[in-house]
A and B are shown apart, each in its own frame.
Chain A
Amino acid sequence: MLTLMIFLPLLGFVLNGTLGKFLPKAISGWLGTAAVFGSFVIALMSFMDLTGDTTMPERIYTKLFTFLHVGNFHVDFAFQFDRLSAVMTLIITGIGTLIHMYSIAYMHEDDGFYKFFAYLNLFIFNMLVLVLGSNYLMLFFGWEGVGLCSYLLIGFWYKNVDFGKAARKAFIMNRIGDLGLLMGLFLIYDTYGTFEYQDVFKLVFAGSAESNAVNTAIALLLFIGAMGKSAQIPLYTWLPDAMAGPTPVSALIHAATMVTAGIYLVIRSEAIYALSPIAREVVMWIGLATSIMAALIGLKQNDIKKVLAYSTVSQLGLMFIALGCGAYTAALFHVITHAFFKALLFLGSGSVIHGMHHEQDIRQMGGLRKKMPITYLTFLIGTLAITGFPFLSGFFSKDEILMSAFAHNPLVFGLALVSAGITGFYMFRMFFVTFHGTYRNTHHGYDKVHESPLLMTLPLLVLAVLSVIGGAVNLPQYLGESISGGLHHLLSYDGGGQFSPILMYPEHAIELSHTAEIGLLVMAVSVFVIAFLYTRNKYVTQGAVPESDEAQAGMGKVLANKFYVDEAYDTAFVSPIEAAGDVVGNYVDDKGVKGFVDGFGSGSNFISRLLSKIQNGNIEYYLVYMVIGVALLLAFNLF
């Protein structure tokens, strides 16, 4: 079953990839969707088995074949389906199915329709390998694989050179992270002699005489990988650019699934992180910095997808804060809810873009709520969910993060709260500018704007429902002991006596007094309210339109230009490397190494010409040379 679950999407990819060209678009699209949906069904069944039936082992393990066996280096091509994987799998296949469906309509007019579905299926396959692999190398397989699919899909519209550039940027930044991850893997193997999660954690847990310094190093190296995949400082700049891809891609890969792989990795390696407070601290501060910075940049973006992209980066930062604080459940919880509402938002924005005939600039929109009621409604729900409207999914997950941050360090809590607050500002800004006010586009008439077809709105509705009720998976304690903490219990399952818990070190319940809890809640809600009121006042009541980038000044300009990070990277890394390539290629290699070698040749030729001069054709000289030769020989021999 497990194998089937993983390989169904691959089958979809192969079928679409080979036969797709000859299939009608509808079949091709539904084929892809069905493959993912099949996986989802199997995953759901397996999940039920796993949690419902106590006789089942704590994980389903399947070894397909030995991938590499060299001396004592041994890696199996094997999968495991445990509780953490299950959650991730459900998100991936579930949201994946919805987005596939959505894409059938969204991509309907595209030439590369079948290709698109093939890529999406391939992505799902790789993502499943990532989360279902039973060892770090399998994770790395999926890790690289999703990076590749991301590359393929960002650059899906290959005729556009900028899109291609964005795709490459995404892939390369991911690879930088991958290198760190790879080094981390080597260090793991060096230290523990295996890649299998179970064996590694057993050894880590047994504290097999390895110093925490080694674990810290492993944790940090793994985190470099996570930085790349989950778009953390300093490797985050690819994600906003990745919006070049079709919108369903952004929803699936760059919001719901792939970018959370970093979170998954850290949760998976909890045993290691648990031993390294330093690494956790690093994770937390980087998450925090990323969160705030991305949120600030989001304030001044005018591309609807860019705003969402920076929002994603910011939310991922929040998750890392949770991880850094040791609140793994909270992080995973936010992963889930974020998957719901961010996918919703992206799909909603896709619907807007679709309705606006591929216009992405919010300044060209306005007043869309009348033309696109379903989109408007679902988008509103998404916005509310992400900004933390009470009792929507985002409210619970975000609060849990904030609370764990508070328990860890009030300063962190404060900063995280700021970040969460800014979320409200930019989200409502975008929302109001897009859907309220007056229509501002000059190219397309207002009458040409239309609501999306059912195939697109249906997933929106489903996701909207999920965004509302998603909090149910891990309700806080104050809502009642019996219904709360579902996810927490899931992850804290002790393995039923066998050794395979998800979290080695069971999380302590956050010991906060109810007053403090309520206080925190109030603070969070009030920040939300302030943001809502301010933006509503500015963009709806006053009808302000964000000014163009050129008109920005001061801090606004800095924000609009994303803190000039891309430019700084260009100056600091890209240009020097390219310059070095030129210098090495044109001077060191061509003139230096080759010149040195050719020097022997020209040297020989020089001597050759010299010898030709000696051979001047005059016999008298020859005779003299000869006699000198004789004389020297005699002198050399006789004395």
Chain B
Amino acid sequence: MMQNLPIPFLVLSFLTILSALYVVTSKNPVHSVLALIFTFFTISAHYVLLNAQFLAIVNLIVYAGAIMVLFLFVLMLLNLSKETEPVKSNWWGISAAITAGCLLLIITAAFQVSGEAVAKNPVEGIGLVKALGKVLFTRFVVPFELTGILFLASMVGAVLLGKREKGNDALISKEELNG
């Protein structure tokens, strides 16, 4: 089964999974961020494979370009770039892995058993900006407008939370929390 697959797909998939794993396991947050950005790149590549060129670009711009930069920025701001995270006990990792693995197994096994197919009807060009834009501003104009509320709300919210009030120093020190 595997050998029939085209090489680019396999390589991309392999890279995606590998970098995703690195995101999860890396002890250094900055490395995680970088690995995540790399993952986004590979996913964008998948989009290209899937004829979704618009999404490929947007993915890079929004995710890799904006969101991940925000993450990095926060990491730097909070000075978390070092390996500050305490090492978790092994059993916790194992149990987390087992839990996630079970879920994975269940889903994949279910698909294996049923082996179902999705109606294949590839149409040329739906992933282009032109086509998508047309849909977005006709059928999806309402949700598109409503995202305005979302952004307004998140903006106001972020400002609300970020606003420094007087005397707003640490309520509780880390030592206290530890103790």
Binding site for B on A (CB under 8 A): 620, 624, 627-628, 630-631, 634-635, 638-639
Contact = CB atoms under 8 A, between A and B. Distances in A.
Contacts of B103: 627, 630-631, 634
B90 interface: no
B100 A635 contact: no
A627 B106 CA distance: 12
Contact of A638 (B92, B96, B99, B106): B106
B107 interface: yes
B99 A635 contact: no
A620 B85 CA distance: 15
A635 B109 CA distance: 10
B99 A634 contact: no
B114 to A, nearest CB: 8
Contact of B95 (A624, A631, A639): A624
Interface residues of B, number: 11
B106 A635 contact: yes
A631 B96 contact: no
Interface in B77-111: 92, 95-96, 99-100, 102-103, 106-107, 110
Interface string B96-135: 1001101100110010010000000000000000000000
A455 B17 CA distance: 125
A633 to B, nearest CB: 10
A620 B103 CA distance: 17
Contacts of B95: 624
B107 A634 contact: yes
Contacts of B99: 624, 627-628, 631
Nearest to B103: A631
Contact of B110 (A624, A627, A628, A639): A639
Contacts of A638: 106-107, 110
Contacts of A624: 95-96, 99
A628 B106 CA distance: 12
Interface of A is mostly: helix
Contacts of B106: 631, 634-635, 638
B102 A631 contact: yes
Contacts of A630: 103
Nearest to B114: A638
Contacts of A631: 99, 102-103, 106
Contacts of A628: 99
A620 B96 CA distance: 10
Contacts of A635: 106
A639 B100 CA distance: 18
Contacts of A620: 92
A634 B102 CA distance: 10
A522 to B, nearest CB: 113
Closest 8 CB pairs of A and B: A638-B110, A631-B103, A634-B106, A631-B102, A627-B99, A635-B106, A624-B99, A631-B106
A620 B95 CA distance: 12
Nearest to A626: B99
B60 to A, nearest CB: 30
20 contacts: A620-B92, A624-B95, A624-B96, A624-B99, A627-B99, A627-B100, A627-B103, A628-B99, A630-B103, A631-B102, A631-B103, A634-B103, A634-B106, A634-B107, A634-B110, A635-B106, A638-B106, A638-B107, A638-B110, A639-B113
B64 to A, nearest CB: 26
B93 to A, nearest CB: 12
Given A628-B99, A634-B106, 19 more contacts: A620-B92, A624-B95, A624-B96, A624-B99, A627-B99, A627-B100, A627-B103, A630-B103, A631-B99, A631-B102, A631-B103, A631-B106, A634-B103, A634-B107, A634-B110, A635-B106, A638-B110, A639-B110, A639-B113
A401 B18 CA distance: 122
A624 B100 CA distance: 9
A630 B95 CA distance: 15
B101 to A, nearest CB: 10
Interface string B54-78: 0000000000000000000000000
A630 to B, nearest CB: 6
A634 B106 CA distance: 7
* Residue of B96, B103, B113 with highest tally of chain A CB at under 10 A: B103
B133 to A, nearest CB: 36
Nearest to A630: B103
A69 to B, nearest CB: 77
A624 B88 CA distance: 15
B105 to A, nearest CB: 9
Nearest to B96: A624
Contacts of B107: 634, 638
A620 B107 CA distance: 23
A635 B103 CA distance: 9
Contacts of A627: 99-100, 103
A631 B100 CA distance: 9
B96 to A, nearest CB: 7
A624 B103 CA distance: 11
Contacts of B100: 627
Contacts of A634: 103, 106-107, 110
Interface string B25-67: 0000000000000000000000000000000000000000000
Nearest to B88: A620
A624 B102 CA distance: 12
A628 B95 CA distance: 11
Contacts of B110: 634, 638-639
A638 B95 CA distance: 23
A630 B106 CA distance: 10
A314 to B, nearest CB: 93
A634 B107 CA distance: 8
A626 to B, nearest CB: 10
A624 B106 CA distance: 16
A217 B96 CA distance: 83
Contacts of A639: 110, 113
A463 to B, nearest CB: 103
A620 B92 CA distance: 10
A58 to B, nearest CB: 101
A623 to B, nearest CB: 9
B140 to A, nearest CB: 30
Nearest to B107: A634
Nearest to B104: A631
A627 to B, nearest CB: 5
